[in-house]
């Protein structure tokens, strides 16, 4: 089929239909699911209703999100899955973060001795890491699932074939990507019409992705990492198929890079907070360590006796300190011996806490601390100086699922930027990531590009236990604001006593060791903002929506409450198998 005919065929698959409303909170018994997409949540519940467990349902939801939330996630990317296994009463994690191709050097994004323009780096083959999502799904299902890949892909195949209704949020995201998507005909054919974003109300089908999912259903994980699909990925990355006259840099990914990709089963990072046992992702995720360090700092305060402004001030200052340490020390543990034990030490948190003034915010960036005396090993300290946080895109997705047997999954996965690298693999219907822009561009730094290395991530899927039983799960997209979203939601829920839906819907404040704190539209003039301003807090002059969280709460009466966003990202979707009456 010629490219022109292929484009025309895709254009005929766009039909205007009315949109559906989503329900962001649900309570009941049996299994539960919360995602940012009605179809994805329904896919999870359908698999649970068929007898699948939480892992099966999580993969089904993730595959559907690859259809309905393709600018955030998909099989062209990677992620982190945290799983509570009820029978074994333990938490496991699966790292299927993308890796740098073997030909990568620390100067990946350096041209003429200078850092490459960030947007130029994103929309290029250079930014594409070896995708890990399919390998991660395979490991999760083989080890902890009860269904085959073919079974759990079935709901997503149906959605891709029959189509879903594009909402205003989807259309807006396509619109902000028009320049990038127009560079790549396969992408423009799928998500644009005559070069402009497809409008809300459109029924969008993706038959190419349906065929790709069928290929995986029939051939399993090997159908992705070898054969024609692997060759198509490598060709796209190395020789980006662009519109006439549009130059885009290619990479040097090989078939061996795909064939050699491995997921990692890692021990979770663990900490405690006010009676909860918290489990999250270890490096190369920086999320678990950073959130837990900040909570350790906050644990030294009796927050329940303080005003909301005082609590939020301390939250912002604890986050500032934890981010200074994150940037200095955390990276892929196979390349960097990060001092995680020291960073998670309660005594180290007590030392960092002394730097916080209760009545005045820090005037700017703070220096990293020295966790090595708390590390309990003979490592020598790496001394770092404070610096501006490098760019990190804010576009990912998080889902969470539980089943009737008490298994819980918190899963965050991504293709990085909205629309990733912008490149749809021609004929296969999915976008490729731009994860390698999560590396620091300039050496020396623990997080510089290296062959086979996984770039540091902020994804923070988290499961909390109380008295040995699941209490809640939480996670969000949002680049480095993922960390502050999860941290602030936990503080809202545990310390401020908000119900989880209110904890998620509350205005978000994101302090990541910067001169100012990022805020959402409408916050700056509020009484809440003015109270914090009296304590020296300063706000970004470019407010934007922060995160799109999903959570589960396991109630004392045996019910579960699924919670998604009440107003962000077009409103999320929460469902339970048997709703409470």
Task: Tell me what pLDDT residue 300 has.
Answer: 98
% of the chain residues with pLDDT over 90 = 90
Q: Contact, 41 vs 28, CB < 8 A?
A: no
DSSP, collapsed to helix, strand or coil, labels residue 2 as: coil
With 70 as the cut, is the pLDDT of residue 276 above it?
yes
pLDDT in tens, 48-102: 999 999 999 999 999 999 999 999 999 999 999 999 999 999 999 999 999 999 9
Task: Tell me what pLDDT residue 187 has.
Answer: 98
Q: pLDDT tier at 17 (50, 70, 90 boundaries)?
A: very low
Q: pLDDT tier at 381 (50, 70, 90 boundaries)?
A: very low
Task: Tell me what pLDDT residue 383 has.
Answer: 45
Q: CB under 8 Å to 308, separation ≥6 — which residues?
A: 496, 528, 531
Task: Tell me what pLDDT residue 376 has.
Answer: 76
Q: Report the first-to-last Cα separation within the chain, whole angstroms.
A: 54
Mean pLDDT of 314-324: 98
With 90 as the cut, is the pLDDT of residue 254 above it?
yes
DSSP, collapsed to helix, strand or coil, labels residue 572 as: coil
Task: Tell me what pLDDT residue 1 has.
Answer: 36
Judge residue 201's burial from the number of C-beta atoms within 10 Å of its C-beta, 0-12 exposed, 13-18 middle, 19 or more buried: middle
Q: CB under 8 Å to 201, separation ≥6 — which residues?
A: 16, 17, 18, 19, 165, 166
**How long, in residues, is the chain?**
581
pLDDT in tens, 497-545: 999 999 999 999 999 999 999 999 999 999 999 999 999 999 999 999 9
Strand partners, 272: 277
Q: Contact, 284 vs 481, CB < 8 A?
A: no
Check residues 6 and 275 and name the one with the higher pLDDT. Answer: 275
Quickly count: other Cβ atoms within 10 Å of residue 506's Cβ. Answer: 19
Q: pLDDT tier at 421 (50, 70, 90 boundaries)?
A: very high
pLDDT in tens, 464-494: 999 999 999 999 998 899 999 999 999 999 9
- Kindly report the backbone phi and psi dihedral angles of residue 180, in degrees, each rounded to the nearest multiple of 5, phi listed first: -70, -45
What b/e readout covers 127-156, taking b as 16+ CB neighbours within 10 angstroms? Answer: bbbbbbbbbbbbbbbeebbbbebebbbbbb
Task: Tell me what pLDDT residue 393 has.
Answer: 46
Pairwise CA distance, residues 78 & 330, whole Å = 19
With 50 as the cut, is the pLDDT of residue 382 above it?
no
- Enumerate the H helices of 182-307 as residue ranges: 185-191, 207-219, 222-225, 227-238, 255-259, 287-298
Pairwise CA distance, residues 575 & 564, whole Å = 10
Cα→Cα distances 258→95, 129, 229, 309, Å: 16, 10, 11, 50
DSSP, collapsed to helix, strand or coil, labels residue 457 as: strand
Q: Contact, 42 vs 155, CB < 8 A?
A: yes
Mean pLDDT of 275-299: 98
Mean pLDDT of 339-364: 97
Task: Tell me what pLDDT residue 518 has.
Answer: 97
Task: Tell me what pLDDT residue 102 has.
Answer: 98
DSSP letter, residue 494:
I
Q: Which domains does the chain have, with CATH numbers?
A: 1-22+58-85+96-262+272-282+393-460 (no CATH), 299-332+338-378+491-549 (1.10.246)
Q: Contact, 177 vs 419, CB < 8 A?
A: yes
Q: pLDDT tier at 156 (50, 70, 90 boundaries)?
A: very high
pLDDT in tens, 189-241: 999 999 999 999 999 999 999 999 999 999 999 999 999 999 999 999 999 99
Among 99, 178, 192, residue whose Cα is nearest residue 457: 99
Mean pLDDT of 545-557: 96
Task: Tell me what pLDDT residue 16 has.
Answer: 33
Mean pLDDT of 375-385: 55
- How much is the mean pLDDT over the chain? 93
Mean pLDDT of 395-407: 93
Asked about 396 being catalytic, the answer comes back as: yes
Task: Tell me what pLDDT residue 263 has.
Answer: 98
Q: CB under 8 Å to 578, separation ≥6 — which residues?
A: 28, 29, 30
Task: Tell me what pLDDT residue 395 has.
Answer: 61
Among 363, 357, 349, residue whose Cα is nearest residue 313: 357
What b/e readout covers 263-287, taking b as 16+ CB neighbours within 10 angstroms? Answer: bbebebbebebeebbbbbbbbbbbb
With 50 as the cut, is the pLDDT of residue 26 above it?
yes
Task: Tell me what pLDDT residue 114 has.
Answer: 94
DSSP, collapsed to helix, strand or coil, labels residue 239 as: coil
| Catalytic-role residue among 396, 460, 462, 485 | 396
Q: Contact, 105 vs 449, CB < 8 A?
A: yes
Pairwise CA distance, residues 539 & 529, whole Å = 9
Pairwise CA distance, residues 452 & 126, whole Å = 14
With 90 as the cut, is the pLDDT of residue 104 above it?
yes
pLDDT in tens, 490-507: 999 999 999 999 999 999
DSSP letter, residue 506:
S
Q: pLDDT tier at 377 (50, 70, 90 boundaries)?
A: low
């Amino acid at each position: 089929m010629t490219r022109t005919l292929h484009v025309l065929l895709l254009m005929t698959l766009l039909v205007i239909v009315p949109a559906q409303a989503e329900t962001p909170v649900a309570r009941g018994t049996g299994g539960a699911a919360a995602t940012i997409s009605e179809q994805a949540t329904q896919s999870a519940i359908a698999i649970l209703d068929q007898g699948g467990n939480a892992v099966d349902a999580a993969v089904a939801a993730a595959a559907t999100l690859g259809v309905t939330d393709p600018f955030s996630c998909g099989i062209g990317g990677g992620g982190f899955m945290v799983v509570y296994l009820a029978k074994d009463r333990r938490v496991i994690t699966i790292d299927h973060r993308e890796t740098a191709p073997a030909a990568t050097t620390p100067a990946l994004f350096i041209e003429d001795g200078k850092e490459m323009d960030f947007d130029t780096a994103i929309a290029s083959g250079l930014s594409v890491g070896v995708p890990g999502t399919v390998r991660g799904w395979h490991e999760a299902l083989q080890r902890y699932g009860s269904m085959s890949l073919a079974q759990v892909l079935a709901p997503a195949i149906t959605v891709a074939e029959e189509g879903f209704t594009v909402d205003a949020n989807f259309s807006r995201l396509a619109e902000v990507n028009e320049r990038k998507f127009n560079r790549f005909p396969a992408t423009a054919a799928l998500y644009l019409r005559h070069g402009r974003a497809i409008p809300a109300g459109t029924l969008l089908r993706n038959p190419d992705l349906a065929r790709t999912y069928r290929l995986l259903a029939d051939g399993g994980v090997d159908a992705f990492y070898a054969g024609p699909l692997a060759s198509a990925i490598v060709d796209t990355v190395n020789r980006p198929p662009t519109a006439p006259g549009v130059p885009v840099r290619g990479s040097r990914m090989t078939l061996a890079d795909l064939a050699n990709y491995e997921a990692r089963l890692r021990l979770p990072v663990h900490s405690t907070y006010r009676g909860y046992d918290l489990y999250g992702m270890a490096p190369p995720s920086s999320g678990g360590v950073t959130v837990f360090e900040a909570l350790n700092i906050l644990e030294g305060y009796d927050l329940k006796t303080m005003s909301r402004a005082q609590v939020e001030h301390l939250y912002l200052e604890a986050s500032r300190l934890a981010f200074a340490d994150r940037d200095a020390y955390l990276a892929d543990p196979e390349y960097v011996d990060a001092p995680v034990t020291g960073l998670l030490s309660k005594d180290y948190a007590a030392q960092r806490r002394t730097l916080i003034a209760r009545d005045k915010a820090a005037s700017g960036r703070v220096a990293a601390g020295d966790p090595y005396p708390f590390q309990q090993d003979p490592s020598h300290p790496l001394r770092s100086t404070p610096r501006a946080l490098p760019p990190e895109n804010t576009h990912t997705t998080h889902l969470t699922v539980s089943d009737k047997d008490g298994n819980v999954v918190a899963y965050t996965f991504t293709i990085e930027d909205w629309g990733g690298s912008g490149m749809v693999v021609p004929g296969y219907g999915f976008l490729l990531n731009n994860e390698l822009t999560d590396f620091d561009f300039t050496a020396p730094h623990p997080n510089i590009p290296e062959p086979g290395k996984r770039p540091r991530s902020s994804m923070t899927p988290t499961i909390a236990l109380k008295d040995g039983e699941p209490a809640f799960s939480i996670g969000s997209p949002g680049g480095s604001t993922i960390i502050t979203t999860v941290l602030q939601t936990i503080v809202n829920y545990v310390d401020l006593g908000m119900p989880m839906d209110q904890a998620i819907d509350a205005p978000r404040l994101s302090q990541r060791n910067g001169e100012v704190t990022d805020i959402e539209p409408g916050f700056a003039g509020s009484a809440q903002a003015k109270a914090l301003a009296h304590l020296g807090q300063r706000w970004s002059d470019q407010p934007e929506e922060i995160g799109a969280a999903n959570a589960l709460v396991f109630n004392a009466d045996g019910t579960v409450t699924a919670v998604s966003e009440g107003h962000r990202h077009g409103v999320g979707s929460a469902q339970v198998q048997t709703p409470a009456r």
